A and B are shown apart, each in its own frame.
Chain A
Amino acid sequence: MRRVAAFYQSTVGKKVAMAITGFILVGFVIGHMLGNLKAFQGAEKFNHYAEGLRELGAPFFGHGQVLWLVRIALIVSVGAHVLAAAQLTLRSWRARPAKYHAAPHLELSYASRTMRWGGVIIAGYVAYHLMHFTLGNAHPDFLPGDAYHNLVVGFQSPWVVAVYLVAVAMLTFHLYHGIWSALQTLGASHPAVNRWRRGAAAALALVVLTGFAAVPVGVFAGIIR
C-alpha cells in the first residue's frame, strides 16, 4: 500500500489514476449513449427505460439505490480524473516555462493539444447538461418523470442543439486521444496490437460521436417528437 501511495505521487502514478478513471467514464459514456438511443423507440419505451434506471438492482436494492451508487462512483472518478489532470498540468507548465520562436506541431494532433481545455469545456458542459435534463432548472418546461417530454422540448432550440453538438465533438476528440493515451499509460503496448490502438480509439470515438449526436439531431429534424 505504501508503494501504491508512493507511486501515486509520481507523474506516472497520477497518469495511471487518470487512465483508470478515464476508462470508468468511457464505460459510463457508452452506456449513456446506448440508453439515449431508446429515444428513437418512442415515449413509452424511453420513459420506461429512464424510470428503470432507478429500479436497477431490484429487488435486492431499493428504489434509486444502485443509481446513486453509480452516481457516487462517477463523481469520485470525475474528481480523481480532474484532480490528477490539474496537478500534472501545473507541473508540466512549470517544466516548460519558455516557448520557442516558431515551433511546428510535429506529432501534436488537434485531439492531443486540446485534452486540457477540451476537458474543461466538457466539464462545463456536464454541469449545464445536469441542470438541463436532471435538475431541470436550465430547462424551459421540465416535467419530473417525463424524460421523453423533457428531451423533445429541450432540443427545440437550435442553440441548445448546437451546444450539445459542440460538446459531443469535444468529447470525441478527448476520447480519441484519451483512449489511446490511457492504453499507453497502462502499458498496454505490444508489437502485435500497437498498430490497432489508434484505430480502435478512433472507431470508439466515432461511435460515441454518432450515437450522441443522433438524439439532438433526431429531435431537431422532427424524427423524434
Chain B
Amino acid sequence: MNLTLHVWRQTGAAAAGRFERYDARDVSEHMSFLEMLDVVNGRLIEEGKDPIAFEHDCREGICGSCGMVINGRPHGPVPRVTACQLHMRSFTDGDQIWIEPWRARGFPVLKDLVVDRSAFDRVIEAGGYVSIRTGAAPDANAVPIPKRDAERAMDAAACIGCGACVAACPNGSAMLFTAAKVAHLGALPQGQPERYSRVRYMLAQHDDEGFGSCTNHGNCEAACPKGISIDCIAQLNRDAIRAALGKGTEYAGAAGGGA
C-alpha cells in the first residue's frame, strides 16, 4: 500500500518544529509501524537527507521506548498496542498519517519524535522502590501474598513507562504513571513500610517536573498500551490523603527512633 506521512521534524530541543510530508511506497501490511519508518528512513539516507529520529529498542512492546502519537492517538489506532507492535494492516492504502512526538512540558522534544522522558526516572527515584536487605536471596514465596493483591500488583506493574498516559492527557499529567507504581508497591507486603512516604515523595516529584493535574477524564487509561486502570489513581489519591492525615508518621520523632 502507499501512504502519505506527515512527520514532525524538529532539529533540537530549542528549535521550532514542523510537519514534513513523505511518501511511503509499497508498504507491506505485515510490516510494523517502525519497520515502515525504517524503510522511509532508508530512502532518506540514500538521498543524503536526515532520517526521522524515533526511539525504539525491544520492538516487542515491553521496553516502552517507541512512543509516538499517530493520528492524534498515542501509539496509534489500535488499543493496548505499542507503536512497535502496531501493524500496517491497521491502515489502508492512500491513508494520510500524522506522526508527532509526545507533547507535554514534562517531556521536552529532543529531536523529531524523540522526547526526554527522564522526568519519569526522577519520579521513580523519589519513591518508586522498596528498601530491602541484600544478602542471600530469600526463599521464593516466603512472604504469603493473597492472590487478589498479587493480581492487583501485577496489573499495575505492567506499566512500561512509555509516557502514553501523559501524551494522551489534556492536562499533561503523569498521574497514571505515578499511580501505577504507587498501586503496584502499595498492594504488596514489601511495599508497606514506605507506602505513605512513597506517595508523598512521588507526588511532590511529579508536580515538580511540571506535569499537570489529573481531572479524571480517563484518556490515559484508553491510551495505555498495557491497560493500566485509573483505579490506580484513586488508590494514589487515597494513600495521599491518608499520608496528609498523618499515616506513615506514627513512629516519627519517637525517642531514639532511627533516621
Contacts of B1-36 to chain A: CB distance below 8 A: 6, 19
Question: Is B234 positioned at the interface, with any CB of A under 8 Å from its CB?
Answer: yes
Residues of B within 8 A of A113 (CB): 217
- Is there a chain B Cβ closer than 8 Å to A181's Cβ? yes
Residues of B near A112 (CB, < 8 A) are 215-218
List 8 contacting pairs A-B, 8 Å CB cutoff, sorted by A: A11-B175, A11-B212, A16-B237, A92-B171, A92-B212, A95-B210, A101-B100, A107-B219
A137 near B: Cβ within 8 Å? no
Q: Could you tell me which residues of chain A, from 2 to 51, have a CB within 8 Å of some CB in chain B?
A: 3-4, 6-7, 10-16
**Residues of A close to B200: CB separation below 8 A:** 6
Known contacts A16-B237, A107-B222, A10 near B204 by CB under 8 Å: yes
Query: Interface 1/0s, chain B 39-80, versus A by CB < 8 A?
Result: 000000000000000000000000000000101110000000
B236 partner residues in chain A, CB cutoff 8 A: 12, 187
Judge whether B177 is part of the interface by a CB distance below 8 angstroms: no
Binding site for B on A (CB under 8 A): 3-4, 6-7, 10-16, 88, 91-109, 112-113, 115, 177, 180-181, 184-189, 191, 194
A104 CA / B69 CA spacing, docked (Å):
11
Indicate if B190 sits at the interface (CB-CB under 8 A).
no
Quick check: B105 and A97 within 8 Å, CB to CB? yes
Residues of B within 8 A of A10 (CB): 203-204, 207, 240
| B contact set with A: CB distance below 8 Å | 6, 19, 69, 71-73, 98, 100, 103-106, 168-173, 175, 200, 203-204, 206-207, 210-219, 221-223, 230-231, 233-241, 243-246, 249
Q: Are A101 and B98 touching (Cβ within 8 A)? A: yes
Q: In the complex, A109→B219 CA distance in Å?
A: 10
Q: Is the beta-carbon distance between B244 and A13 smaller than 8 angstroms?
A: yes
Q: Which residue of A lies closest to B174 (CB)?
A: A95
Supplied contacts A97-B105, A106-B73, 15 more A-B pairs, CB within 8 Å: A3-B246, A7-B240, A7-B241, A10-B240, A13-B244, A93-B212, A95-B106, A95-B210, A98-B103, A102-B72, A107-B217, A112-B216, A113-B217, A184-B216, A186-B237
Contacting pair A95 B71 (CB below 8 A) = no
Closest residue on chain A to residue B77 by CB atoms: A104
CA distance A92 to B219 in the complex (A): 15
Given contacts A96-B212, A103-B72, A107-B218, whether A186 and B172 have CB atoms under 8 Å apart is no
Q: Are B73 and A91 in contact (CB under 8 A)?
A: no
